[in-house]
Structure 1
């Protein structure tokens, strides 16, 4: 996966941004890999894709192959992990800002992750959508229930009437 969008890092200063940015995707590094020639760091996916079509480093143009790449320094990985990032479900309503190193765990349990959401509402048991309104759903259900109750009452009354007529004969 390419880097993380810079806009997801609310506390990242303009001064810090170049330290953590992949020059290929221009986003914050994801799975950073370093080149042996110029010691530049790129997202693993970005540099791997680059090297599928090129045989040189994107920075200094020296010969480079995937097997020559190595993981970024532990200091860089540690600092990246401590950056604060907005949850990827920010647009769905999650307002969590977590450490980048905790993002995977948060994403798996985030209540705003629609893939993890129950398909029915726990309150009114109707289909749960982003614009879900329990009150409206319950009113519709109540109307349907009242129609069914009226039908069942009439059926019971008709059956009792038939029973009474049968008993009289």
Structure 2
């Protein structure tokens, strides 16, 4: 499935739109048998199920799928697209070839972790408002206390077992 047309900040040529999903190409591939271009995820399903081009019904095999022409890839790579997290507040538009890197570093990524300034624990940004340092630290202390008690019991049992063996 391609990229939503509305996410791009410039007008999109019809030559860059997949005829199957009607979105801007994502990982475009060309069919050597008929030169039609589709998103890889769109055409892959058809090759597996139907073995023919959905536009002209030319017979195709998985070996007939190759990279789209370089000019298509080059043009797509520099087109500016809005961030995936624009609904979370990001106002950036980046070239399509830098979208993945931006996604990983975007401060509006809903799962991005930031360090709490009070307890220095990494917290998912969207959960920061629910974060409670005291409860978190109390839970950690309780967990560590339980581990210490478990270890004490284990080593006490081992020690008792060793004493029994030595006495016999």
TM-score (normalised: structure 1) = 0.69
Alignment of 1:2-81 (within 5 A): 2-13=1-12, 16=13, 18-81=14-77
- Which residue, 90, 99, 104 being the options, matches 2:100? 104
Structure 1 ranges of 4+ moved more than 3 A: 120-134
Structure 2 portions without partners, runs of 5+: 135-168
Which protein shows a greater Rg? 1
> Structure 1 pair 77/57, CA: closer, same or farther in 2 (3 Å)?
same
Count of matched residue positions in the alignment of Structure 1 and Structure 2: 133
Aligned to 2:152: none
> Structure 1 pair 122/8, CA: closer, same or farther in 2 (3 Å)?
farther
- In 1, distance between residues paired with 2:118 and 2:91? 23
Q: Is the 8 A contact 1:111 1:117 kept in 2?
A: no
Q: Is the 8 A contact 2:77 2:96 kept in 1?
A: yes
TM-score (normalised: structure 2) = 0.69
> Structure 1 pair 124/8, CA: closer, same or farther in 2 (3 Å)?
farther
Aligned to 1:88: 84
RMSD: 2.6
Deviation, 1:132, is 5.9
